[in-house]
Structure 1
Amino acid sequence: MKHLGYFVVFLILAANVLFTGLLLFAAYSPYINPELHPVQSCFGLTFPIFALVNGGFLIFWLIIQRFKQALVPLAGFLLCFPQLHTYCPINWNTDNLPEGSFKVLSYNIMGFDGTIKKDGQNPILNYLKDSEADILCLQEYATSTAKKFLMQKDVEKALKDYPYHRIHTVGEGKGSTNKMACYSKFPILSAHTLNYKSDYNGSVVYEIKIGEDTLTLINNHLESNKLTKEDKVVYESMLKDPQKEKVKSGARLLVRKLAEASAIRAPQADSIAKAIARSKHPYIIVCGDFNDTPISYAHRVISQDMDDAFTQSGCGLGISYNQNKFYFRIDNILVSPNLQSFNCTVDRSIKESDHYPIWCYIAPRK
């Protein structure tokens, strides 16, 4: 029996080593170029799963007082601590905001929920009006020409405290109607789209004058994962009823589509990183819907010379996509190292879009 006990411990330890290796592979998969290895680059999606499994092994070893074996999952966590901190930071809000701080809000508004008016009001527009943000960066911006729906003049009336705004159609696809917008209480000196390949997505670079300083702001809507409503139903069905054949066929479909989108996002992320590097201004903010998780090639490349505001001043997972059980933070605000963020929040109080807004206060570092 004693030898049997040792054998069981050995098998559990071997499984622990395997899952710790998978955790580290997921943690460092953002260094895989999606254009060369699209499927492997998506492995970062599994990071929270393997982190939980690794945590389970750590608790197990501690309970049975096998402290030497506990070093395996502990080493795994230490080797991917930066990724853990990025994925699920723990910070506390502060009431002591520095003088000169301003509020930035990024929100994929899903066309103002189809430009619908409810009793003459649009909940998303009301939320933006009451947000007290100084700069609004909006993705999937759309208004209607019909009076019974939300019109551009309705938006401008509600957002009259934002005297400066720019609206751009993005994407090279024939007849693309996807728009990006920036509403600002500070002067917008210039605005132009980044030139990269995408049918319906894009990035817009703004120069914004704040006091004596000029800020580069890049508002982004990166390539979506091209999942149809039917694909999302397949995903939810896999979670509810994980039959072997259903999971196998569904996973193959989802991985193929996710890999294709990841390969398209890679050069888009490279273009944004180049725009950051050539900015004429020292203060830079990058925000928007990245359509990818914090453990991804796109997030790593774009944030390589930036700080993630949610990692710096947010708390928890910050899940920003709110439909179909895709529990990920795909909306971001990044700041240059000479800026500091405060109280970064993914606001779950409004559910009219398929995304939650993300906002934070920003001030120059002293």
Structure 2
Amino acid sequence: MKHIGKVVTYLILAVNTFFIGLLLLTAYSPHIKPVAHPVESCFGLTFPIFLVIDICFLLFWLIIQKYKFALLPLTALLFCHSQIHTYFPINFHTRNVPEGSFKVLSYNIMGFNGAVKKEGENPILNYLKESGADILCLQEYQTIESPRYLRQKDVENALKDYPYHRIHTVGKGKNHSNRIACYSKFPILTAHELDYASEYNGSIAYELKIGEDTLLLINNHLESNKLTKEDKVVYEEMFKDPETERVKSGARLLIRKLAEASALRSPQADSIAREIASSPHPYIIVCGDFNDTPISYAHRVISRNLNDAFTQSGCGLGISYNQNKFYFRIDNILASKNLKSYNCTVDRSIKESDHYPIWCYFTK
């Protein structure tokens, strides 16, 4: 019996080693180039799954008092310390944000939820008006010039505290329309679209004058995963009945679409990184809808030499997409290291869009 117990223990250890390999693969998958290896570059999506498995193995070895074996999953956690902190930071908010700070808010507003008015008002517009932000970076911006819908004049009246704004139509597709907007209490000196291929998405770089300094601000809507409503239904069914043949074929379709989108985002992320590297300005903020997780090629490349504000001053998972059980933080605010962030928050108080807004205070 003693020998059988030993064999079982070493079998479990072998399984543990296998899952550690998968954990490390997912943790370092952002270094895989999506254009060359699109499927493998998506492994970061499963990082939290293998992280939980590794923690379970650690607890198992501790419970049965095999402390020598517990060093294996513990070492894996140490190798993934940076990724864990990026994915699930733990920071305490402060009530005393320093004087002179400014607030940045990024929000995919889903066209003001179709630019619909409820009793003459639009909840998203009201939220923006009451946000207290100094800079609003909006994606999927849309107004409809009809009294029944939210018009551009309605937005400008509500956001009259923001004397400077720029609205750009992005993407090169003929049958699509997507606009990105920036409303600011600080002067917007210049604005231009970054040059990369996309039918529907885009990035706008602004120069803002804040006091005596010029800030480079890049507002982004990167390539979406192009999942249809039917695809998202299949994704939800995977949680309910993962053994059905329909779900298996659907999973293959999802992986293919995610891989294709990852390959498209890769050169977009590279273009943003080049814009950051070539900036003559010491202060930089990059925000928006990345359509990718914190453990991804896009996030790694764009955040090179920048701090992730949520990692630096947020807490928890910060899930910013709120539909179809896609529980990921795909909206971000990144900043140069000479800007200190405070109280970065994914605000779940408003559910009118399929994204939650993310906001943060900064001081120079």
TM-score by length of 1: 0.99
Measured in 2, the distance between the counterparts of 1:207 and 1:10 equals 60
What residue identity is the alignment partner of 1:362? F
What residue identity is the alignment partner of 2:142? A
Report how far residue 244 of structure 1 moved.
4.7
Residue 277 (structure 2) pairs with residue 266 (structure 1) = no
Any conservation in 2 of the 1:20–1:73 contact (CA below 8 Å)? yes
Residue 349 (structure 2) pairs with residue 349 (structure 1) = yes
Q: What are the within-5 Å matches in structure 2 for residues 163-182 of structure 1?
A: 163-182=163-182
Report how far residue 14 of structure 1 moved.
0.5
Report how far residue 247 of structure 1 moved.
3.6
Aligned equivalent of 2:233: 233
Aligned equivalent of 1:61: 61
Cα offsets for 1:102-147 (capped at 9, x unmatched): 0000000000000010000100000000000000000000000111
Tell me, what secondary structure is at the counterpart of 1:141? coil
Q: Which runs of 5+ in 1 are unaligned?
A: none
Aligned equivalent of 1:130: 130
Count of equivalent residues = 364
Aligned equivalent of 2:196: 196
Cα offsets for 1:294-331 (capped at 9, x unmatched): 00000000001100000000000000000000000000
Report how far residue 245 of structure 1 moved.
2.4
Aligned equivalent of 2:219: 219
Tell me, what secondary structure is at the counterpart of 1:183? strand
Q: Percent identity?
A: 74
Any conservation in 2 of the 1:170–1:176 contact (CA below 8 Å)? no
Residue 48 (structure 2) pairs with residue 74 (structure 1) = no
Aligned equivalent of 1:339: 339
Cα offsets for 1:14-70 (capped at 9, x unmatched): 110010110000000000000000000000000000000001101111111110110
Residue 12 (structure 2) pairs with residue 9 (structure 1) = no
Aligned equivalent of 1:185: 185
Any conservation in 2 of the 1:136–1:183 contact (CA below 8 Å)? yes
Measured in 2, the distance between the counterparts of 1:249 and 1:363 equals 50
Residue 153 (structure 2) pairs with residue 153 (structure 1) = yes
Aligned equivalent of 1:303: 303
Report how far residue 175 of structure 1 moved.
4.1
Measured in 2, the distance between the counterparts of 1:123 and 1:244 equals 41
Residue 255 (structure 2) pairs with residue 255 (structure 1) = yes
Measured in 1, the distance between the counterparts of 2:162 and 2:142 equals 18
Structure 1: which 4+ aligned runs deviate by more than 6 Å? none
Report how far residue 248 of structure 1 moved.
2.1
Report how far residue 99 of structure 1 moved.
2.3
Q: Which runs of 5+ in 2 are unaligned?
A: none
Measured in 2, the distance between the counterparts of 1:306 and 1:176 equals 32
Any conservation in 2 of the 1:90–1:314 contact (CA below 8 Å)? yes
Aligned equivalent of 1:329: 329
TM-score by length of 2: 0.99
Aligned equivalent of 1:18: 18
Aligned equivalent of 1:115: 115
What residue identity is the alignment partner of 2:48? P
Report how far residue 243 of structure 1 moved.
1.4
Measured in 2, the distance between the counterparts of 1:205 and 1:2 equals 67
Any conservation in 1 of the 2:242–2:248 contact (CA below 8 Å)? no
Any conservation in 1 of the 2:216–2:285 contact (CA below 8 Å)? yes
Report how far residue 96 of structure 1 moved.
2.1
Any conservation in 2 of the 1:238–1:246 contact (CA below 8 Å)? no
Any conservation in 2 of the 1:169–1:176 contact (CA below 8 Å)? no
Measured in 1, the distance between the counterparts of 2:154 and 2:59 equals 56
What residue identity is the alignment partner of 2:145? T
What residue identity is the alignment partner of 1:157? N
What residue identity is the alignment partner of 2:290? F
Report how far residue 250 of structure 1 moved.
1.8
Aligned equivalent of 2:277: 277
